[in-house]
Structure 1
Amino acid sequence: MAGLADVLEALQRTIEDGELHRRQHLEAEMGSQFGRHVEIGLALREAFEQPELRDKFIRRLKPLRRLIIGNLPAGVQRQGLLPELSPQQRTAMGHRRLDDIPDSELEQWLIDDGRMIYGEFKPHELHHYFTAIAPYVKPGSAMIDLGSGLGKVVLSAALSLPFGSCTGVELLPYRHAMAQQRFDAMLAAGDAALAALPGPPTPDEVVALPYGGHADASHVLRLKERVRFINGDLFDADVSQAGLIFMYCTCFAPLMDRIGEKLARELPQGCLVSTTTFQLRHPAFQEVAHFPSGTVAWTSVYLYVRAGELEGLPPAPASYLYEPPEEQWEAAVREQMAALDAGA
């Protein structure tokens, strides 16, 4: 007999991958949220692409190479988030050239550039991840995804695990909008599946969850109230009621110490924190589980619990940022410059 299980299945079928989505250019106007980021990024792109400026590009970025994901900043590349503006348009908008941008702004730009790189678990990795963390999830607790992208983890977790609520916090407006659109499509599919049932579900009807356990009818019927997407900075997010913090933070290396400080101050004791690639080094967190690369996902996954009072804890050790040898980094960047000239 058709029932809530069919509705849950219909909801799950709407979940899409986001890795290959069409990126939307950042708003370029000075004074807008990302206007300054666009200005600095286009100055760097100009220096990378113009042969007479390339030595300057190397000289300015070489001391900051520890902050670059790979060899060349993602934002400098043509498939990135920066809009295409002519030199005349940039001049009219008051854009500075690389010579006029101080090192402190370049450093912050590289940190921000990394956090805008999109990444997510592939479907089989997300399945492995949910299988791994399911035993640790407290039914009814709140899950928050910091850097939620197009919302795949939030929507999947809301359906598959017994969270009371699931919230996604995403910095980029277009990704937030796409996540909300996907959620709206999911709700519409759920309404259609409910309408196709021979009768309305009863409040005491239960549904089996994919990773163990059962939930009552509200798990499906109150999905609109249980899921929320917020367009904002993860450092401004309210995490005070969280039961699990999820972060796909493979490109967050320069931010991990700051994130650890925020979570240590603001999370309730007992809250779980899940990270990818990078560990949480703050002493307020105890490692619960470590899933090495190749087990749950292509990269390492860590699970921590917030434990103990902050008072009296030793200072958190600074994270180590990998810095390639100068000659190796420069050779790799110049190779990419040569490939650009060759039209590769």
Structure 2
Amino acid sequence: MESAIEWRRADTAAAAPAGPCTSAGDVLAALLDSVEGGELHIRPLRALLESGRFARFNEVGLALRRAFRDPAQRDYFIARMKPHLQLVIGVLPSGIQRHGMLPPEPSAPAPDALRLEQVSDAELRQWLVDDGSLIYGEFQRYELANYFDAIAPHLRPGGEMIDLGSGLGKVVMSAALALPFERCTGVELLGYRHAMALERRARLLALSQQLLAALPEQAQQPEAPLALPVGGAATLRHLLELDARIELREQNMFEADVSRASLVFIYSTCFAPLMDALAAKLARELPEGCLVSCTTFALSHPAFRLLQHFPANTLAWTGVFLYQRVAVPEGAALPPPAALYAPDPDEWEVRARAECAAYDAA
């Protein structure tokens, strides 16, 4: 379905008032403008990579990186990678490249250093999944505004929005401000990201209290009208109850309770190997009528009816899909598991060897 929306192409000047806030709308604009992006956040590498979940990440990753860098091991490196190409974002895993999160090591590794030959296929697969999960991506501010415009016609006041893989909380906090949800919940697996999101939430709430307290007395009435950015009417309670309306959880998305959701948001560009399992979970647990949006990769399950597809470079830099949870006829056949990103192995090898040659020449 083609959309008549005129998409924003870049961030625009702040809509927040230059002077003191004199109305609920002024406060809302200032709060939206204050929500922080997270693409350039500093990752606590040592604490992260020494944590329980990633305790072996360094060891396996260094073995893979040594094989990539050693011309004598290139054929073996390429052979080991080929069965797992659907797990890699791009040509080579991010972690083994110069900008990756693996630590430097001496040119001559320790005699007892793990070799790629000692890494099982299951371990390598898990390492590639973990490497992808460490990549951080989010909508730019203007893309998020486009997204809100796109979904607004499908929303009803109330309900719960859930962001699976909520990172530093940008989408959750922005949605709580701009959209008419009763509650917005973020679910994030990585502890350091969850901690940073809590800090940002605290700053947002502190600013909200400060701005609301400074409003003229006549503008502080809970039932004072408030126009939301995407259309629709609310009252000042939308902001007065912000603390109760934003919840952030440190949790595996597969363990999250989504049974009361009215919108599930998934920035799934790095979730290719998880999409089938996510679709199955959501099909089991979501109420009928719930909206689901995801990026880059479609949901292949009969429980989800596609409402709109926004191709790459329209709403955002990547494609965005909007679905609705529908009833599945009894006995309906489920599609086989899909390899959502699986480049041709021979074409991949050509590109991988070019990357290797570029590394050697640098």
> Same-fold call, TM > 0.5?
yes
Q: Which residue of 2 aligns with 1:233?
A: 252
Question: Is 2:265 aligned against 1:207?
Answer: no
Residue in structure 2 matched with residue 167 of structure 1 by the alignment? 185
Of residues 101, 114, 124, the one that matches 2:142 is 124
Query: CA offsets, 1:157-193, max 9 Å, x none?
Result: 1100001111111122222222222111111211221
Alignment of 1:98 with 2:144, yes or no, is: no
In the other structure, the counterpart of 2:64 is 44
2-side partners of 1:87 and 1:232: how far apart? Answer: 39
Give the whole-Å Cα distance in 2 for the aligned partners of 1:173 and 1:87.
33
Secondary structure of 2:247 counterpart: strand
Question: In the alignment, which residue of structure 2 is the partner of 1:80?
Answer: 100
Which residue does 1:28 correspond to in 2?
A: 49
Q: What is aligned with 1:325?
A: 344
2:60 matches 1:60: no
Does residue 154 of structure 1 match 2:172?
A: yes
Residue 189 of structure 2 contacts residue 252 of structure 2 at CA under 8 Å; is this kept in 1? yes
Instruction: Rate the CA distance shift 1:77–1:192 in 2: closer, same or farther, 3 A.
Output: same
Whole-angstrom CA distance in 2 between matches of 1:287 and 1:274: 10
1:240-297 CA distances to partner (integer Å, 9 max, x unpaired)? 1111000111121221111000000111111110011111111111112222223211
In structure 2, how many angstroms separate the alpha carbons of the residues matched to 1:83 and 1:191? 43
Structure 2 letter corresponding to 1:53: Q
Q: How many Å separate the matches in 2 of 1:95 and 1:259? A: 36
Q: Quote the Cα distance in structure 2 between the aligned partners of 1:3 and 1:216.
A: 11
Q: Report the more deviating stretch, 256-265 or 177-186.
A: 177-186
Looking at structure 2, the residues matched to 149 and 187 of structure 1 have their Cα atoms a distance apart, in angstroms, of 18
SS in 1 for 2:331: coil
Distance 1:81 1:270 in 2: 41
Secondary structure of residue in 1 paired with 2:267 = coil
Q: Which moved more, 1:118-127 or 1:313-322?
A: 313-322
Q: Residue 144 of structure 1: SS of its match in structure 2? A: strand
Which residue identity lines up with residue 36 of structure 1 in the other structure? R
Q: What's the CA shift for 1:220?
A: 0.2
Residue 293 (structure 1) aligned to one of 272, 287, 312: 312
CA contact (8 A) 1:72 1:333 kept: yes
Q: Which residue of 2 aligns with 1:192?
A: 210
Greater CA deviation, 10-19 or 302-311?
302-311
Q: How far off its partner does 1:87 sit?
A: 8.9
1:330–1:162 distance in 2 versus 1, CA, 3 Å: same
Contact kept? 1:67, 1:321, Cα under 8 Å: no
Q: State the Cα distance separating 1:335 from its structure 2 match.
A: 2.3
Report what 1:271 is aligned to.
Answer: 290
Superposed CA deviations along residues 53-96 of structure 1, whole A, max 9, x for unmatched, are 333211211222232111101122232333446699988xx973
Count of matched residue pairs: 340
Partner residue, 1:302: 321
Whole-angstrom distance in 2 between the partners of 1:90 and 1:25:
22
1:134 paired to 2:155? no
Contiguous gaps of at least 5 residues in structure 1: none
Once the two structures are aligned, what percentage of the paired residues are identical?
53
> Which structure 2 residue ranges, 5 or more long, are not aligned?
1-20
What is the DSSP-based 3-state SS (H/G/I as helix, E as strand, rest coil) of the residue aligned with 1:212?
A: coil
Aligned to 2:15: none
Cα offset, 1:130, TM superposition: 0.6
TM-score normalised by structure 1 residue count: 0.91
In structure 1, the residue corresponding to 2:229 is in which secondary structure?
coil
Q: Which residue of 2 aligns with 1:113?
A: 131
- The separation in 2 between residues aligned to 1:262 and 1:47, in whole angstroms, is 37
- RMSD between aligned residues: 2.3
CA distance in 1, matches of 2:109, 2:259: 45
